[in-house]
Amino acid sequence: MDFSAIEGRGLVMLGCGKMGSAMLAGWLAAGLPARDVHIVDPHPSDWVAGQGVHLNADLPADPAVAMVAVKPQMMAEALPMLAPFGGGGTLLLSVAAGTPIAAFEAALGEKTRVIRAMPNTPAAIGKGITAIIGNGVATVADADLAEGLLSSIGQVVRLETEDQIDAVTGVSGSGPAYVFYMIDALAAAARAEGLPDDLAMQLAKATVAGAGALAEAADETPEQLRINVTSPNGTTQAGLEVLMNAADGLDPLMRRTVAAAAARSRELRG
């Protein structure tokens, strides 16, 4: 990645937990000098403290980027710290859940360039997917810079409107929890068929992880991959006849699940 826009001016991070640490590791490995990174975190990990970055020290007056990665309940405390960076000189990049662009514009001024990002928890191991959207004064170059920074934790997609964040929340934001629950349910079904607990869980985890990796790597669609492993009148078809039931199978269940999460996201932002 090209860090020329950051080098010399600096990048400020408010909060550096697991996701922030994953990003930092990616940036440092890609060549961002540690001296250009300024982190504010009341409880930094030993790893962060040992990277040679500026930690809980005086911040630069005009950093290239200020990234907000605090928990939602800490946002009220973080916003005043961001006040000096408002007005357009600094790109504000928020990976904080639940805080809309308008909140940053109200606190820092409408001329503040804001990119809002919605990552998901697999980002902590570099396997996430992040959706981004900018405000009216954010430029294409700003979006490119944000995408470059966020690509250190996985894939990045760009949204057309901020309202799409609600659907993203229902799919990729909350989606890992759905998959974790599916793993538990698959393991429970294996135990019900007589397999021991440890083996049931090992099979469930490896099956879901392997199928996901295959779906990403293969040229075929997930539908075609399903067809490939479904022999006529075989065991897989017997299971799929339950799972693909139009009335109470997985498809209508997932539609209700994502719709409920997206609706709650809309409620929370008012």
Domain 175-269 CATH assignment equals 1.10.3730.10: yes
Q: Is 206 exposed, middle or buried (0-12, 13-18, 19+ CB in 10 A)?
A: exposed
pLDDT for 52 equals: 96
Contact 68, 39 (CB under 8 A): no
pLDDT of res. 73: 82
Does the pLDDT value for residue 269 go beyond 80? no
**Burial of 31: CB neighbours in 10 Å, binned 0-12, 13-18, 19+:** exposed
Is 71 or 221 the better-scoring residue by pLDDT? 221
Say yes or no to pLDDT of 128 above 90: yes
Condensed to tens digits (0 to 9), the pLDDT of residues 202-212 reads: 999 999 999 99
Residue 76 in this model has a pLDDT that exceeds 90: no
Identify the band that residue 71 occupies on the pLDDT scale cut at 50, 70 and 90: confident
Q: What's at 184, amino acid-wise?
A: D
Domain positions in the chain are 11-165, 175-269
Question: Please, what is the average pLDDT of the chain?
Answer: 95
Count of CB atoms situated within 10 Å of the CB of 253: 13
pLDDT of amino acid 270: 65
pLDDT 10s digits, 145-165: 999 999 999 999 999 999 999
Classify domain 11-165 by CATH number: 3.40.50.720
The C-alpha torsion from 115 through 120 and 125 to 127, rounded to 10°, is -90
Average pLDDT over residues 164-176: 96
**Of 67-76, 89-98, 114-123, 250-259, minimum mean pLDDT range:** 67-76
